[in-house]
Amino acid sequence: MIRLIWLLVLTIGVAGCSSANSGASSNPPREASTKAPVQAEQYIPVSWGKLNVKQVTISRSQRFGSVNPAVLATFEEPEQIALFTESLESAVEINGILDVRKPDYDLIFVDGDDQQTTVHLWLSPQKDSAGMYTYVSNTGTGYTVSEEAADKLSELIRGITYPAEQAANNGEVVNEHGKLVNLDKWTQFMKDVKKGTPSEVHMTSYTLEGGAIFQDLIFDGETIEFTFDNTWDSFGSPTKVITFCKSINQQGTEFTLAECDREDPAFFFSTDIVE
């Protein structure tokens, strides 16, 4: 029997932000990948109102400039598609240099000719906050999504059902009330960190009410980017925090992040094997 305990204690500070994203951290992105991300199409601004979209696919973004292939959901209902396209159509281009944390979501819009348009989307955990999007192939130009549209998009996206089986099939380490799947992903990640090999591991745990809590560790060969995201837990206080750490301490079966840039951003991970 394998018992997995995940405990996170986070001290949340106020990070630098852009005018389009009130929760955006000023930390620069650090990237590492063991997956084959979906590459972006050549940057061509589109007229969202004229785009004949038949499908919108969404995933949790892990980096700028590519689309995470681990799909959360696919939207095909006309009302849902219209919400996305109308929200982006009404967005206003931002002047100046963007200073934002990595995106929250990647979106793939597929039109009637099976052509794809890909965007990064930022949505604040808090209500009544503006959102932002960029084209995946042009992350230097941002567009402000209105507060009303951002709230509607947040409600739609966070209403997605993301079962443990889907998370496991996406290659994530899953903890569903003590039932553990894909622990080997963590073992391999630790081996890679010790060797200085770029790697990443993604974890999803579930509350008693079924809400998903996401934890992502991306190692670029020197630094670990740790993301904690409980914005899908409707019974908790919605929080998304990104921290950069230099190492992982191990004491037997217990692991903690160390040398981090945020005060006491403790990540505690323990696996106990019971005969």
**CA separation for the pair 187, 248 (Å, rounded):** 13
Nearest to 87, CA basis, from 43, 122, 139, 136: 122
Both tokens of residue 1? 């029997």
**CA separation for the pair 57, 72 (Å, rounded):** 8
**CA separation for the pair 60, 122 (Å, rounded):** 11
Contacts of residue 126, Cβ cutoff 8 Å, sequence gap at least 6: 22, 23, 238
Question: Helix, strand, or coil here: 46?
Answer: coil
pLDDT at 256: 87
pLDDT at 99: 87
The full set of domains in the chain, from first to last, is: 2-10+161-273 (no CATH), 38-157 (2.60.40.4400)
On whether the CB atoms of residues 109 and 84 are closer than 8 A, the answer is yes
pLDDT at 32: 38
Q: Rounded to 5 degrees, what angle do the CA atoms 64, 68, 71 make?
A: 145
Question: Helix, strand, or coil here: 80?
Answer: helix
Low-confidence ranges of the chain (pLDDT < 70): 1-44, 264-266, 270-275
Q: How many beta carbons lie within 10 A of that of residue 134, not counting itself?
A: 23
pTM: 0.81
Q: Positive or negative, the Cα torsion across 239, 240, 246, 252?
A: positive
On whether the CB atoms of residues 62 and 218 are closer than 8 A, the answer is yes
Contacts of residue 161, Cβ cutoff 8 Å, sequence gap at least 6: none
pLDDT at 1: 32
